[in-house]
Amino acid sequence: MPELRSNFTPGTTPWAVRRAQWRALGIPDADMDKPKIAVVNTSSELSSCFSHLDELAAVVKEGVRAAGGLPFEIRTTAPSDFVTNAGRQARYLLATRDLLVNDIEVVVEGALLDGMVCLSSCDKTTPGHLMAAARLNVPTIVVTGGYQDHGIHRDEPVDIEDVFESVGAVSDGRLSVDELRRMCDVAVCGPGVCAGMGTANTMHVAAEALGMTLPGASLIPARGERVRSLAHAAGERIVGLVEEDLRPRDVMTEGAFANAVRTCLAVCGSVNALRHLQGVATEAENGVDVYALYEKWSRQIPLLTAVRPNGPIRVDELDRAGGTRAVMKGLERWQDPAARTVSGRTAGELLAETAVADPAVVGTVDEPHAPAPTLLLLYGSLAREGGIMKRGAAGGELRFRGPARVFDTQDGAMEAIRDRRIGSGDVVVLRGLGPQGGPGVASASWFVAAIHGAGLGEDIAVVTDGQLSGLNHGVVVGQVCPEAAVGGLIGLVEDGDEITIDTATATVDLLVPDAEVERRRAAWKPPEPTSERGWLAIYQRLVRPLSEGAVIVPRRPGDEPSARPVVPGGS
């Protein structure tokens, strides 16, 4: 075993004061020199996503003790996309991901602990844990909390996605509030994350494909013996990682990121995985350009499984078919077999013993569910540094052209839907919602869900510099960069301007003459920084663009922004 950084020299001040504290906790002498493991518990009573993590933390600690380590449970902030999205139009959500990273740094680095097991559940906790692992580079294992059970309403399955999209039907008068209330009362039947291929499950998939979970740890039920067994095994294995000195940056190499990108594409994962994986790579300081990886592989990777909202398959069916490893098996010819995992085995070794239990659920590259690209990076005058579109299992190319309807708030766009001031053929532009403009990336997802609930999902396009839910779908280009607040062309769009979205050319363009664009640009003034105090004000001043993962790592001399394609006439 390497020398443990947590073992201080006897007689020194750090040794003496910590020994006094820990003796008061009842820690015996025999445990003082053992590997000291942080059990990072993002538990909260605010959301069912986290309601089982206290139990899993206890199981992890049992595993740590069984392997000869000394566990310490630590608590962090715990953002829930369906609870803590209420304030400030969800501006806290992405900003809280980075607060979580710093939360972990303060405790783990402050105490000089030797390793950590991170209990991940809702959307922002898994990327936050991976980013913290990449930054601190202490031995780490991610334990995903699993997916929640869905309910039955009027003899049909109902889950949180159905609730999310039905709000639009209420606004449109096609569904009563009482009926929606009944759906809400049965949609979630236990702890865990949303059962569709939203951001949470996508990031669980990404964590396993990166090699940062034990094999088979993603896409499992939140309740039952499997999740408990994996939690105990993670507690045992983390002590081995400390002894072997296997660190996150040894695991999260360029090959591992390529494996994760290809796997996320094959399941048509959330658009949000792109910025989160770029955030992890930025924290790892490994030079990996996740956007370039997505751009390279998005035209080659077909859809191997169509989990809701991309198709009819439910996540429990994918679980029974073999889960993430089965999807990686379907991509085996393109996977990097040398990528290491926290299990101590390589991706190639794990895939050699993996089989797909149900080919009807998990296809192959030669026999996929759909040959079309599932997630596209679009560039153009409206997105010089890129925008993202999730296409799901739709076949064929798509070209949408229509007049812009511009809104600076999601509430304004929602009101326009209710008042029927947005109609078929319109391109809704939601702007000023990016990392700096928010501040904190504001949500556009409620509006996108509402237009689907109102039956307009295929008739209206949306272009936004804000964030989307992993459950959103339709003709939506999100996370447009540069954002409006820093002078992106999206901030210069006016009502009635023609906009085109073309998947064949992977472009999103504003059809306004260059001279008119320059006139508007000359008149544009950057918005004033927020005058409020608190976390969002700090975030606004430090955050990097979405194209760099929206991390809040301050720039250093010579640390230049990522190079992105420049489109003539762009911003």
Give the C-alpha distances (Å, rounded to integers) separating 548 from 185, 192, 268, 567: 40, 29, 21, 19
Our measurement of the distance from residue 528's CA atom to the centroid of its chain's CA atoms, rounded to an integer in Å, reads 29
- Judge contact between 508 and 484, C-beta under 8 A: no
Buried b (16+ CB within 10 A) or exposed e, 295-332: bebbeebbbbbbbbbbbebbbbebbebbbbbbbbbbbe
* Amino acid, single-letter form, for residue 49: C
- Judge contact between 221 and 130, C-beta under 8 A: no
Handedness of CA 100, 106, 111, 114 (dihedral sign): positive
The CA distance from 247 to 241, in Å, is: 7
Name the catalytic one among 44, 469, 547, 571. Answer: 469
The CA distance from 88 to 255, in Å, is: 38
Q: Is 469 a catalytic residue?
A: yes
The CA distance from 537 to 540, in Å, is: 5
* Largest pairwise CA distance in the chain: 76
Residue identified by tokens 């993962």 is 549
The CA distance from 248 to 227, in Å, is: 22
* Amino acid, single-letter form, for residue 219: L
Token pair of 324, please? 């993430």
* Amino acid, single-letter form, for residue 165: E
Residues with catalytic annotation?
469
